[in-house]
Amino acid sequence: MATVAVQSFVSAPLQVPKVTQFKIGICQLKVTTEKSANIFNARSMIQAAAEQGASLILLPEMWNCPYSTDLFAKFAEDFSDIDSAPSLLMLSEVASSLGVTIIGGSIPEKDAGQLYNSCPVFGPNGELKAKHRKIHLFDMGKPLPGEVQFKESDNISAGEKPTVVDTDCGRIGIGICHDIRFPELAMSYSARGAHLVCYPGAFNMSTGATLWELEQRTRAVDNQVIPCYFMMIVLYVFMWYLAPCCEAC
């Protein structure tokens, strides 16, 4: 019988940051077609969360623009030039002025002629610590009667790399919306010592309401981490319900 050598997924013990006690602020935004208004509203909600003691503050998916494939290019920003990117510049400035870590939901990113659905992470010094590009794009199947067809891949390119970032609040894995439906991503974050996995999302009542809670519970029990999903229900750990959105904001 042939002998098969199995290589461990983690070849050596990871140096994992100490778990700390902290408060999370989750911002739910009403997005408009006015980019400047969206930025102003996001800044105001981040400040309000910090005033209530939050040291880790989270924004939703595509918070600076309507979630529409024909608008992404208009609202997109270049992550390599933050001074010319109003949404990113605001996040950098407010993170620094308030001394908080911001998981910046996602905004459209433009890079080398491509568009991405990208989540920036800013540290308390205003530095861009990480960027996650949405890996699993949401291409809606045949819509139900009266519903609109949506295919993110029409003009968004998929990311290729998982994102783990060490912050003052611990080690955090990042996914975006549809990424939560794929267990391998959360498994890789758990194996890398993540304490928290954040999924900014933009599901609506027709594309995911029945699955939101199930997916969070599943990722929590599979990996023994806290998934933080910025939709109707957030914060699960070990299958125990912690808070609905209205109480967590």
Choice among 119, 177, 198, 228 that is catalytic: 177
| Cβ 171 vs Cβ 191: under 8 Å | no
Looking up tokens 């996650």 gives 132
Q: In Å, what is the CA distance from 30 to each residue of 101, 175, 208, 226?
A: 22, 21, 19, 26
DSSP H helices in 4-109: 35-51, 72-75, 86-98
Among this protein's residues, is 151 annotated catalytic?
no
Nearest to 73, CA basis, from 109, 39, 45, 48: 109
Among this protein's residues, is 134 annotated catalytic?
yes
Residue 30, CB half-sphere, CA atoms under 13 Å: how many? Answer: 0
Among this protein's residues, is 51 annotated catalytic?
no
Choice among 109, 134, 169, 215 that is catalytic: 134
Choice among 61, 77, 152, 215 that is catalytic: 61
| Cβ 218 vs Cβ 225: under 8 Å | no
Per the DSSP assignment, residues forming a β-bridge with 237 are 240
d(CA 130, CA 200): 15
Query: Exposed/middle/buried for 213, CB within 10 Å: 0-12, 13-18, 19+?
Result: middle
Query: Exposed/middle/buried for 1, CB within 10 Å: 0-12, 13-18, 19+?
Result: exposed
Catalytic site residues? 61, 134, 177
